[in-house]
Every structure is written in structure tokens, then in C-alpha cells.
Copies of this chain bind each other. A is one copy, B any other.
């Protein structure tokens, strides 16, 4: 029976959701699909490419047209981005790894949406992508931290008292940091104008 790329990504996503990123290896995946590792390498020449394809699957629900207006656009993209990461075990860790490896097409699209929003806000062309990356680092860092706590809670691990306070109202906490970044992008624009 022919092995389709899509079946490989399906199986990899199942391993991720059930066991976490540490168990997502080419060997384990080949066993799960009952094929030889060579059959996998036909579709994915290395593990980075496989992780990139799984990251694309995780991020797909975040790829919708954002609303008009750069502030609303950044907010909407980031809320959907965080929701997508939280929907899969170790989602934030997986996407962070794919960002660094430059292997996720969906991550590139999210960066492009945020870059366009920063440009709309008046950030110069050569800095708009840096602004977009700053927002992405924040979303990934916040969500990785949030997800670790959720997964430890689910595993019944004891966290220091201070940590449980941090679990309260994560949406408000997420929006606070995002608002700082949006205000910073707006201020950057003002600062440039003041220099003219």
C-alpha cells in the first residue's frame, strides 16, 4: 500500500498529541505506520522537515484573514496563533523548533501577516519583520510557559505556590503583554515622525 505524505503527518500529529514531542522520532513514527524508516525519508529527508510539516498542521486553524485595522489584525492573529498552539501537546515547543529551523510554511505566513500589520502601523519596511518577530517570540514564550504549567497540572505535579497564582486568568495576562507590544509599535511610529 502506498504511503501518502498526509498519512505520515496524521500519524506524527497523533504521536505528538498522545505522547509529546520527545516521543516524536522517525523510528517511532515508522513503527506506528508499520513501514521502514526509508519509506519516511522518501517524504521527509530529515526530522526538521517532518516537524515543520506537523507545525503547519498545528497552525492551519490560525491561517484566516485578519480583520481590518493593524491593531485588530495583530490581536486576532495572535489569539488564533495561541489557541492553535494550545490545541496540541507541546504545540509551542514544536513550533518554536520549526521557527528556528525555518521549516514551517504556516509560521512564515503568520510572520507575513504580522509584518504587514506592523508596516500598516507605520514601521519602516526594514524593521517591520523585526517587529513581527518580536510579537512571535512573545506569543511562543508566553504559550510555552502556559502550556508547561497546564501539562504539569494535568500530570498532577506539585508546583510552587507562586505558580498557581500565575495560572489565573491567562487570557488577561496574554492580552496585557500583547498590548504592550502593540503600544510599542504605535510609539515607534510616533518616535520616527518626531525625528523628521
Query: A residues near B, CB below 8 A?
Result: 96-97, 99-103, 127, 130-131, 133-134, 136-138, 140-142, 144-145, 148-149, 152, 159-160, 162-163, 173, 176-177, 179-188, 191
**Chain A interface secondary structure, helix, strand, loop or mixed?**
helix
Are B144 and A101 in touch, CB under 8 angstroms?
no
Could you list 6 further interchain pairs (A-B, Cβ under 8 angstroms) beyond the known A102-B160, A141-B141, A182-B184? Answer: A96-B141, A100-B152, A101-B148, A101-B159, A179-B184, A180-B181
Residues of B within 8 A of A181 (CB): 134, 180-181, 184
Are A188 and B179 in touch, CB under 8 angstroms?
yes
Q: Given A179-B188, A188-B183, decide whether A145 and B134 contact each other with a Cβ distance below 8 A.
A: no
Residues of B within 8 A of A187 (CB): 183-184, 186-187
Bound Cα distance from A101 to B184, whole angstroms: 29
Bound Cα distance from A163 to B102, whole angstroms: 7
By CB atoms of chain B within 10 A, which of A127, A134, A186, A191 has the most? A134
5 of the cross-chain contacts (CB-CB < 8 Å) are: A100-B149, A134-B180, A179-B188, A183-B183, A187-B187
9 closest residue pairs by CB, A with B: A137-B141, A184-B184, A134-B177, A100-B148, A180-B184, A183-B187, A141-B141, A183-B184, A102-B160
Q: Given A176-B130, A177-B134, decide whether A100 and B145 contact each other with a Cβ distance below 8 A.
A: yes
